[in-house]
Amino acid sequence: MARRSIAAACVAVLLACLPGAAGATVEKWPSPLDFASQLDLECFKTDAYQPPATVVTLRHLNPVLAGQPAETVKVGARDQLCVPVAKNGKIPPPVVADLIQFVDLSCYQVRSIGVESKLKLTHLNPVVTAMGVPSTEVMVGGTDQLCLPVVKNGKFPPEWVLQFVQYLDLKCSVLFPAAPLGIQLTLSQLNPVLANLPKQQVKVNEARRLCVPVQKNDQKIPSDILDVIQWVDLEKFDITPGPTPGPIALALDLTHLNPLMSAWPRERAVLSGPVQLGLPVAKNGKIPPG
């Protein structure tokens, strides 16, 4: 009997250490390449919402843009909610999927001239690279969006996931030329709150924005998390959705995750249809460590 009790206790300890267990932590996050290359976000147009008056200073995290000056912006009206999706039925691997399924970003209008930069963008996701999509050279201009981590309808991720996703803030800038990607994809929702939405066929059109990771107001980001999120670059493309069983019109409650926005109230957001798709890219040949 004593041996059985000891064995049961050992099993309980092992189970408690699994990533999905309550209060669990991970010994090692996914590699930057494993995480960044699998993060695809479908962006829905929302009704306008003006958050509390907030001014933030943004500093680049990615090494390619680390030398650019900080930008101070006033957070304007919300215009998008971006949610994690899989493409063509290719689900990210375990642990990576455990994190990505809770990457929901609420995007707000901002205005900043920024620094005009010429960049070479290379796609990272295996589904897109297998289609033979070439690298492109673009000019990146002024900042027009700030995307902040949220949860939908109070469905918070496990604590170990929250530790990670709460620091994923993206600054989006206009890019040109707006060249069309010209591919067809089938998107399926990864977050449990939207799991009942049907798969969506989309045509990927012109590139409009480049979204890059930033730090807000000198906020301290744990070094092990920073090592991963600093490589998250998403190129946002306009999309044309194919036929669906019905129009998308969905009301959600959004709660902000980043500690700097903890005083913001819950937001009501009404989604009116998918308008853009964020696909992971690398800048100037600097592939995330993998």
The number of folded domains in the chain is: 1
Domain that holds residue 270: 29-283
Q: Extract the tokens encoding 224.
A: 């092990």
Better-predicted residue by pLDDT, 271 or 249: 271
pLDDT digits (tens, 9 = 90+) for 122-179: 999 999 999 999 999 999 999 999 999 999 999 999 999 999 999 999 999 999 998 8
Domain membership of residue 3 (yes or no) is: no
Mean of all residue pLDDT scores within the chain: 90
Domain membership of residue 80 (yes or no) is: yes
| CA atoms 69, 72, 76, 82: torsion sign | positive
Better-predicted residue by pLDDT, 9 or 279: 279
Please, are residues 212 and 171 in contact by the beta-carbon 8 Å criterion?
Answer: yes
pLDDT band at 48 (very low <50, low <70, confident <90, very high): very high
Give pLDDT, residue 102: 98
Distance (Å, whole) CA 46 – CA 152: 14
Give pLDDT, residue 7: 37
pLDDT at 6 over 90: no
Give the SS3 label for residue 146: strand
What percentage of the chain reaches a pLDDT higher than 70?
89
Domain membership of residue 7 (yes or no) is: no
Domain membership of residue 5 (yes or no) is: no
For residue 180, give the H/E element and its range. strand 180-189
Please, are residues 138 and 118 in contact by the beta-carbon 8 Å criterion?
Answer: yes
| Nearest Cα residue to 114 out of 139, 146, 143, 138 | 143
Domain membership of residue 238 (yes or no) is: yes
pLDDT digits (tens, 9 = 90+) for 50-60: 999 999 999 99
Domain membership of residue 9 (yes or no) is: no
Lowest mean pLDDT among 7-16, 68-77, 225-234, 238-247: 7-16
Q: Stretch 269-275: mean pLDDT, rounded?
A: 93
176 phi/psi in degrees, rounded to 5: -155, 155
| Nearest Cα residue to 91 out of 195, 164, 210, 19 | 195
**Residue burial 52-72, b: 16+ Cβ < 10 Å; e: rest:** eebebebbbbbebbeeeeebe
pLDDT at 1 over 70: no
For residue 151, give the H/E element and its range. strand 136-152
For residue 144, give the H/E element and its range. strand 136-152
Domain membership of residue 290 (yes or no) is: no
Domain membership of residue 13 (yes or no) is: no
Give pLDDT, residue 25: 54
Give pLDDT, residue 3: 38
Q: How many CB atoms lie within 10 A of CB 134?
A: 6
Distance (Å, whole) CA 179 – CA 188: 25
Q: Extract the tokens encoding 284.
A: 């100037």
Give pLDDT, residue 178: 87
What percentage of the chain reaches a pLDDT higher than 90?
82
pLDDT digits (tens, 9 = 90+) for 216-270: 999 999 999 999 999 999 999 999 998 765 556 899 999 999 999 989 999 999 9
Distance (Å, whole) CA 114 – CA 68: 9
Give pLDDT, residue 2: 38
Give pLDDT, residue 113: 83
Please, are residues 34 and 290 in contact by the beta-carbon 8 Å criterion?
Answer: yes
Give pLDDT, residue 179: 87
Please, are residues 147 and 172 in contact by the beta-carbon 8 Å criterion?
Answer: yes
All residues at 6 or more sequence positions from 135 whose CB lies less than 8 Å from its CB, including other chains: 120, 121, 122, 123
All residues at 6 or more sequence positions from 163 whose CB lies less than 8 Å from its CB, including other chains: 25, 222, 225
Measured CA to CA in angstroms, residue 29 lies from 19, 170, 183 at distances of 10, 20, 32
